[in-house]
Amino acid sequence: MDKISCISLNKTSLRFNNSSFELFANITIKEGEKILLIGPNGSGKSSLIQLISGHITPNKGEVLLKNMHKTNKESKEISELISYMPQSPYLPLHFDVFDFVITGRFSNNNIKTNLSENDYKLTMQILKKINLFNKWDSKLAHLSGGEKQLALLAHNLIQNKPIQLFDEPTSNLDPFNQSEVMNLILYSSLNKPITTIVSTHDINFAWKFNRVIMIKNGVIFKDGSPDKIITTKNLSSLYEKEIKVKKINNKHFVLTH
């Protein structure tokens, strides 16, 4: 049996008022797929993610989620399906880490009641996993850029939604944290078929995902498994720079210089 289509963008296009840039996408994403989104700055990665999350409405075409038509009126239903980590959101700097992360546990079910003891436990667990537990009572203002990003990531992971979108989740992290965080994003809940879409500039993570979508100037340039499409030729024409893909000890490496 085929896996159900989870997200589909049917000839969806998006235009911005004061620019000639247009995003066009016609893609189907199946439940449980792990997708990496790559492309140069300004190619439309963030816009594509926000079309799916419902933060931007398309000018033409439609976005279907689990075959449910998505409009703004149904934002409550969408919020139960999707979590979305924006690139550099405003942060309430006077919050401590724990109080910030635990807000991810709010949903339409408990907004009128209260957080349970379980929500507190989950918050503690995620902070431990993400190596931020030693700062649970520090104000966000006193964290480094990377630590703020980790807190934001924890806020998103703790939502435990079936579709998880991350817009450059590792941009402020050191290389070791980057790889740990990617693993956390990909394997945090193996028992559930979670659909994950991550945008990044670090192409070396591509082989951890089962599908890579390349975007260039608002259109899908290549779409397929990393083994097939992450090639010297494709990357070089995607970024219009000389990029090499090498295999060392059976591991792939992308060399940008």
Partner 1 sequence: MSTKTNIKEIIYIKTTRNFKSIIVLIVLLIFIFILSVFLGPSKINAFEIIKIITSNIFTNKSEFILSTAAHTIIINLRVPRSLLAITTGIILSSSGSTYQAIFKNPLADPYLLGVGTGAGLGAVIGLTIYPSNMSFANVGAALFAFTGGLLAVFLTYNLSNYSKNLNHLSLILAGVAITSILGAFTTLILITQNPEIKPILSWLLGGFSLASWEHFNIVFFSGIPCVILLFSQHNKINILNLDSKQVKSLGINERKTITLLIIASTLSASIAVSQTGIIGFIGLVAPHISRMAWGTNPKYLIPQASLIGAIILLSSDIIAKTILSPTEIPVGLITAFLGFPFFVHLLRKEGNIYG
Q: Nearer Cβ to partner 1, position 48 or 82?
A: 82
Cβ neighbour number for residue 217 with a 10 Å cutoff = 14
Smallest distance, Å, CB 203 to partner 1? 26
Rounded Cα distance, 162 and 80, in Å: 8
Nearest to 225 by CA among 217, 216, 234: 234
Residue 77: in which H helix or E strand, if any? helix 75-81
Q: Nearer Cβ to partner 1, position 92 or 224?
A: 92
Q: Nearer Cβ to partner 1, position 77 or 223?
A: 77
Q: Which residue has the tokens 């980590």?
A: 85
Q: Are the CB atoms for 69 and 87 separated by under 8 Å?
A: no
Rounded Cα distance, 76 and 149, in Å: 26
Smallest distance, Å, CB 99 to partner 1? 5
Smallest distance, Å, CB 240 to partner 1? 31
Q: Nearer Cβ to partner 1, position 114 or 249?
A: 114
Q: Nearer Cβ to partner 1, position 120 or 187?
A: 120
Smallest distance, Å, CB 238 to partner 1? 27
Smallest distance, Å, CB 57 to partner 1? 12
Q: Nearer Cβ to partner 1, position 78 or 229?
A: 78
C-alpha dist (Å) from residue 187 to 9, 183, 191, 193, 220: 26, 6, 9, 10, 27
Query: Which chain residues interact with partner 1 by CB under 8 A?
Result: 53-55, 75-76, 78-80, 82-84, 86, 89-96, 98-99, 103-104, 106-108, 110-112, 114, 117, 120-121, 124, 133-134, 136-137, 139, 141-142, 155, 159
Smallest distance, Å, CB 74 to partner 1? 10
Smallest distance, Å, CB 4 to partner 1? 23
**What tokens appear for 201 in the block?**
């500039």
Rounded Cα distance, 133 and 158, in Å: 14
Q: Nearer Cβ to partner 1, position 73 or 251?
A: 73
Q: Any residues with CB less than 8 A from the CB of 166 and at least 6 apart, and which?
A: 85, 153, 156, 185, 196, 197, 198, 199
C-alpha dist (Å) from residue 200 to 60, 169, 189, 192, 242: 26, 7, 21, 24, 19
